[in-house]
Structure 1
Amino acid sequence: MRSTTSFLCLALVCCPALARAQPLSPERVRALAEAQRPSLVRVRATVSVAMGRLPGLSKGTRRTQQVSVGGVVVSADGLVLLPAAALDPARSAYALLGAPASAQVLSVRVVGSDGRIRDADWLGEDPQTRLGLVRVSPPGREGLRPVSWGEGRPELGDSLLVLSLTPAPLGTHLRAEPVRVSFVAPERWGLSPGLLQSLGGLVLDGGGAPLALVSTAALPLPESGDLLRPDLLAVNQASYALPRTRFAAFVASPPGAPPQVRQRRGRAWLGIRGEVLTPELAQRVGAPVDVGVRIAELYEGPAKAAGLQVGDVLLRMDGEPLDLDPGESFDALVEDYNVGEKVPFVVRRGSKQREVVLELARGPLRPVDAERLGVEGLGLELRALTFFDRRAAGLAADAAGAVVVRLEADGGASRAGLLVGDLLLAVDGEAPRSLADLREALLAPGAHVLKIRRRGKELSVRVRP
């Protein structure tokens, strides 16, 4: 025992950083996480990436992808700071391989820790730090709080805490990770272990003061042809902390919204469900071509009003060929336009093709954007019915109700037999006018009979709060 104690004392004398690195208690971690919760967000972006020709290949490629990354609120007027490099991690790889690449942010939305989805505008990226800024629209700023930065600076071996909002099956999850400082440089600090799941997270010292942002790249993107530079490879793949001094000027003078980014006026749509064609899909459905977007379903909207039909193939949109990869989103391309814009399409039907100009309509609310509300007394979380829920269930267009999206295993709703995915249509014979009315009815004293729809069948379930 004496030798062990002597060894520990020697280690603390020789390595004072070990003496400073005191882990935080679970209670302290929870308290710090709750204190910073209103400052943490998740940024969802639709990004169009154009890549030049790789050596040995005949042409470049273009793809549209939807990505999600953490961020922090940095001002009362809705500015959110995020690691822009994470919006397209493959961009650096293409540059290193010798192919020029450029990414354009088409649209962004911000999800707070309260679960609300807020409209926002992309402002731009700082090429030196590869951090980006978005601004939340005024109606969505309620419930967000800017970070109150501390002035400290860690030393090698110090214990820090990283807080971030990360994706979860039913929304987002507040993640807390203890880390150690692995190196300290004037412009960045190394963090161990790596934090690729917590990019855009907030770095706190042991006293709970926010000090830095978790990011991935300290240098500008390499020029093409830098394949053999291991320093760029290592830096662009590492996770580390950027102190506030590195981005204070960028936040103080944010760029204006780029002119090529359209300001959102609602979600534009055509009134179709489109399938990106591949040779295999074209052969299976008998499509006349194997490139384009096939209309798989047709709803009330601009496409139907113009006489388009299921099976028609959209070949070009606004002069650009719809040569999409299977993973690309056609809806995201449409949503880059504003409601009311007139967009030309080239349409193929059988052996004939024609051009049609469609005026984009306002799309219905998607399930991912719909309002949610918890009913704590029953261990239940509900989501408002959307157009897509009603259509899939064969309900009337004005049918009221909600969708069960989460259940606690020991809650009253689970014990009564409710399942995730059930459509709740009425309580004690009354159709709810809103989620708030539905919650009030469910929590009223006494037992209640719920009318639900499950896999096409209507059932009655009795619950008690």
Structure 2
Amino acid sequence: MTDGWNWRQPDGTPMPAYPPTSVPPSAAPPAATPGAPAPGASPWWSDALSDPWRDPRTPAAVVVTPVRPSGSIDPEPVVDPDVGPRRGLAQILLVPLITALLAGALGGALGYGFSVRNGAGGGAVLGAQGSEAPAAAQRRPDSLAGVAERLRPSVVTVRVGGRGGSSLGSGFVASADGYVITNDHVVAGGSGSATIVFSDGSTSPAKLVGQDPESDIAVLKTSRTGLSPVEFGDSDAIAVGDPVLAFGSPLSLANTVTAGIVSALDRTIQAGEPGGTTRYYAAIQTDAAVNQGNSGGPLVDGAGRVIGVNSVIKSLASDEQEAGNIGLAFAIPINQAKRLTQEIIDTGKARRTVIGAQVTNAGAGAAVGVRLSAVDRSGPAAAAGLRTGDVILKFDGRPLTEPGDLIALVRKYAPGSVVTVEYRRGSAQQNVSVTLAADVK
């Protein structure tokens, strides 16, 4: 027990006052330890020992070593956190001050970065910030944009002057040495020369190599070489619904590209000026936007291969000059156009394929078929056994309803082609193979 602030010994006698005036050798303080006051200092113990509730003989630090099983690893010693050298007030205040300064600096840096990213102080930043361009904007070579970029150098604008003024149409490069394909009605009435305008705006004069009014194909030749020719596709391999692109200069708007699909195949087209040559061909129908000035330009498939030559549009306008796109455009199949172009380059003219017969309507009440009104005795029809009065129902598997259907389909094929003809004679229906021939002009 205590008496005031004095401690008593176990026998009840008061303990000597501290610090003692003389310290016997047996009560001498322990050897100096690091951080302890030197002996003789007043007092020689630390401030912690002045605690009136503490036994001054208790060591300043208590190290507890837990009991461990035999063979285990010595754990780290657990030190009483309340015991040890005391820090001054300045040290205690300095730590939170530095922490506050560092936190303020970090917050300011983050705030500045956030404000810059969001446009604060430097004008508004509109739109989301994407990490990379979307796949649709990367323009792969097989995308529509990739096809358009690849075809553009091969597409040209054709300007032709003549007695009736000047005309403008489109065309495309068929060979690196300067041959250009266009429509006959683009160059018809011209002086035999034209100006080719390339996609980069450069121009070159061109001469008319040859033309075929009945198929609406013409070939020009420019002196420029090293050109980028188109890649030809197979117009017999396309199907309704296939994607297509139409190139040209509609309404004098050069380097125009429109997109659509194949709407129909072997659509009979009968066109021409009154009193002039009538053109027949089994056309590719498309809903790609085609207007005045697209004539002669290429129609390409999804891979960028030319499958047709844009030629005719259907319009609700009665005046041809006011005609515009209504989603009905027609192109000459490229297999036919390529064959005629090669013949014009080689011989200066194109051959016309014939069956050797004249045709008319099948008669009142007939839903399908065309009647042979006359048969050339030395022609392909007669050689196959067809006679005057026979009704042709199908030509190479395609039903016929109008006389123009047979003419257009016959001209689609090259001379020498063998086709199957289904016909009716009286009440009997039969099939026969016909070898088509070239017209002798």
TM-score by length of structure 2 reads 0.37
Which one has the bigger strand percentage? 1
Question: Comparing both chains, which one has the higher relative contact order based on Cα–Cα distances under 8 Å and sequence gaps of 6 or more?
Answer: 1
State the TM-score, normalizing by the size of structure 1.
Answer: 0.35
